[in-house]
Chains A and B, each alone.
Chain A
Amino acid sequence: MTRFARNRGALLGLLILICVVLLAVFAPLLFPDSPWKMVQRPFLPPLAVEGMPLGTDTLGRNVAAGLVYGARVSLIVGLVSTAVALLIGIPLGALAGFYGGWIDEGAMRFTEFFQTIPSFALAIVLVAILEPHLTSITLAIAIVSWPPVARLVRAEVLSLRRREFVDAARLAGLSNMRILFGHILPNAMSPIIVMASLMVATAILLESSLSFLGLGDPNIMSWGYMIGAARTVIRTAWWLSFIPGVAILLTVLALNLIGEGLNDALNPRLARKGR
């Protein structure tokens, strides 16, 4: 904890993330109306009219409301898809690393199969086939994000399973599963946590990119949608793309800073010099 707190960037990231989370949680209190509601003249610049701090979009919808509700979507998609990716990637990587042999071969060829397809292209195909919906988008992002987890976990397990404490556990008569999940995986957790925090950031970017391309859930206001919809008017109303763009930037940056802070905190021996 103290090591994390000593990293100023990580603290800043955490602060931004907390703000985003608070906005997302209290969205219905801040803006009781739907973010789709057309409330004012279209194309109002920020601060032009009271009550519309960020202006209005092409249909006269409140950009601030859209931003806050968009935060919910980004966070939900980011967290859920990362959780699903971890649920696929950790067991697969752990089994491959622990047992080796044909299990390892099979699991890694399967993983490589996913890794050879560009992840964004695969996500587009999946969403297009499943029809754009919050569930299908989350699932598609999870499916393209688990392979690196599997590889990371496998590498960690491979190095850990030759350690003395594993031999000791084996001598004590513990089952393979207990050794793997009770002793090896907990020791591999720190790189996984770091990776997961970065994956949330990647997932948010992926969701935004999909929405930007018009493959978002058409019933849900998201940041990517806001940018995509404003793209055609960027010459006349640049702020409509700029504001949600900044929101994505800040959130992703915050998650990256946190990830780096966690990395430094959890792997003190790897901490870079000069800090």
Chain B
Amino acid sequence: MKKLITATFVSLGLAAAAQAQDAGGRLDIVVQPEPPSLMLGLVSNGPTQLVAGDIYESLLRYDTDLNPQPSLAKSWEISEGGLTYTFHLRDGVKWHDGAPFTAADVVFSADVFLRKTHARLRVSLEHVDSITAPDDLTVVFQLKEPFGPFIGVFEAGTMPMVPEHIYKDTDFANNPANNTPIGTGPFKFDKWEKGSYIHLVKNEDYYLDGQPYLDEIYYRVIPDAAARAVAFENGDVNVLPGGSIENWDVARLIKMDNVCSTGKGWEYFAPHALAWLNNREGPTSHKEFRQALMYAIDREFVKDVIWNGYGTVATGPISSRTKFYSDDVNHYDYNPDKARALLKQMGYDGTPVRILPLPYGETWKRWGEAMKQNLEEVGVSVDMVASDVAGWNQKLGDWDYDIAFTYMYQYGDPALGVARNYLASNIAKGSPWNNVEGYANPELDAKWAAAAIEPDVAKRQTLYDEIQSEIVEDVPVAWLLEIEFPTIYRCDVKDLVTTAIGVNDGARDAWIEK
């Protein structure tokens, strides 16, 4: 039997049209901090993705269970064996300047532009042999070997489509068009008043009938967290994307009338908070110490008190919201006595360890203090190190730390966003995002590699189950919390968060109830 995975949807817009949407109105969304640029192919930090996710599109979108959905591609097939990905593009799609969007643009974006500019996509493209366009509406990705996560890279922030007719044979980074981004998305760039707002207007020629429903979006730049909360309270903005206000304000705002919130819309990123533990030197180089640390810290307390009950205590390297998660691992529940016993067994001599909190605001400072206190209670002496963002980057890049807080995005698949932190081949100074802890386990390295290219889903699951069970025993890093950043919005805003990247590309389907 030929196994052909086919997905055909007439139109998501029609599928979701169970309820009549009201057209018109505008959204005011907080963007924090102000993005450095809106050219999603060149810059892919959070604020840029938030704004530009409505300007640029990719071939697919993902629902909140990470299932692929049509976007610029109306249907697609994956060949048996997982080597050929064929995408059928939507007919009649136009760029914001009126030029037609064709398969040539897809080939240019993936094979030329992003290969040069997008570090994260480049890693996935290593598995790709060729990208071709047999006709104007068909694109074929031919892989060198099966690469299961590949169906997950067609997200707007990972593979944004950029116009070939504007960028071909130019200096991408210095093209003047970067200031007036041209995409295919439901909203067009209108105006950027630096330090104040970014204004997008409805794309009247958008290929979905009647969509987008909204007339315009203002992304407002408000540098102070308390001022952002106030702006929402007095109605200046009607959407606070996840993480834009301090947790303590979240608890207060969601109790107000006519305020709704959702924890969905982060599944693609699945932010996973962890503490790097320096595996090379100091007390943290001992496995018993690292296990003791896991038992010593009260993660439930942190979740309830510092994160107001949002999130889930992490059990291991893979988030429960990411594919191939396994719960069948040792659970390090809060147990100070066990921690003391492990420290004794190891012969801990009182050498102080340094804690470097993430310099991202009060929440993370409190978290560092709570961990310090937890560790001191089991007899570990702790020095808290203060630093700013630049100092934090430098210290991690130089491996000059004992325990350091961070959080990492998982991008839906362990091969895309998890393995990078544990592979010995990813030990390199200078980056705070690779295998910073210095964990080297050749046996697991082989399993991570095998799992990435295993075409059979069940076998992948088995491999990842083994990896999780073994690595959790080693505690290369301290997994803390699957962070949930609630999106807070006025209840008359409907259908804003319907995808795995939430507000980033949510404006296409969003509408305001009259």
Contact = CB atoms under 8 A, between A and B. Distances in A.
Interface string A46-85: 0000000000001110000000000000000000000000
Of B357, B362, B365, B388, most A-chain CB atoms within 10 Å: B362
A132 B386 contact: yes
Given A42-B305, A59-B305, A232-B226, A131 B386 contact: yes
A114 to B, nearest CB: 25
Contacts, number: 59
B384 interface: yes
B355 to A, nearest CB: 9
A166 interface: no
B372 A36 contact: yes
A36, A229, A232: residue with the most chain B Cβ atoms closer than 10 Å: A232
B78 interface: no
Nearest to B356: A218
Nearest to A57: B366
B370 A38 contact: yes
Contact of A214 (B252, B365, B366, B377): B365
Interface in B157-188: none
Interface in A126-149: 128, 131-132
B369 A215 contact: no
A19 to B, nearest CB: 28
B474 interface: no
A235 B252 contact: yes
Contacts of B362: 229, 231-232
Contact of A59 (B252, B306, B386): B306
Contacts of A60: 305
B291 to A, nearest CB: 23
B431 interface: no
Contacts of B387: 131
Residue among A34, A37, A59, A60 with most chain B CB within 10 A: A59
A36 B373 contact: yes
A117 B298 CA distance: 46
A231 to B, nearest CB: 8
Interface residues of B, number: 27
B366 to A, nearest CB: 6
Contacts of B246: 232
Interface in B364-404: 365-366, 368-370, 372-373, 376-377, 383-388
Nearest to A233: B248
Contact of A34 (B248, B305, B357, B373): B373
B248 A58 contact: yes
Contacts of B249: 232, 235
Interface string B218-246: 00000001100000000000000000001
A218 B385 contact: yes
Given A38-B370, A131-B386, A236 B305 contact: no
Contacts of B9: none
B392 to A, nearest CB: 12
Contact of A38 (B225, B301, B357, B386): B301
Contact of B252 (A34, A38, A216, A236): A236
Among A214, A215, A217, A218: residue with most chain B CB under 10 A = A218
Given A38-B373, A59-B369, A229-B362, A218 B248 contact: no
A138 to B, nearest CB: 16
Q: Is the interface of B mostly helix, strand, loop or mixed?
A: helix
A215 B386 contact: yes
A179 to B, nearest CB: 48
Contacts of B225: 232
Nearest to B230: A235
A49 to B, nearest CB: 16
Contacts of A232: 225-226, 246, 248-249, 362
A219 interface: yes
A219 B383 contact: yes
Contacts of B252: 235-236
Contacts of B385: 131, 218
A229 B365 contact: yes
B386 A218 contact: yes
Interface in A112-166: 128, 131-132
A36 B369 contact: yes
Contacts of B368: 218
Contacts of A229: 362, 365-366
Contacts of B369: 36, 59, 218
A132 B391 CA distance: 12
Given A34-B373, A58-B248, A229-B366, A219 B305 contact: no
Contacts of B366: 58-59, 229
B303 to A, nearest CB: 13
Nearest to B372: A36
A236 B386 contact: no
Contacts of A236: 248, 251-252
A214 B373 contact: no
B386 A34 contact: no
B249 to A, nearest CB: 7
A231 B306 CA distance: 15
B373 A37 contact: yes
A131 B385 CA distance: 9
Nearest to B302: A59
Interface string A176-216: 00000000000000000000000000000000000000111
A60 to B, nearest CB: 7
Interface string B284-319: 000000000000000001000110000000000000
25 contacts: A34-B373, A34-B376, A36-B369, A36-B373, A36-B376, A38-B370, A38-B373, A42-B305, A58-B248, A58-B306, A59-B370, A132-B386, A214-B365, A215-B386, A217-B386, A218-B357, A218-B365, A218-B369, A218-B385, A229-B362, A232-B226, A232-B249, A232-B362, A234-B226, A236-B248
Given A58-B306, A219-B384, A232-B226, 4 more contacts: A59-B370, A131-B387, A218-B386, A235-B252
Interface of B: 225-226, 246, 248-249, 251-252, 301, 305-306, 357, 362, 365-366, 368-370, 372-373, 376-377, 383-388
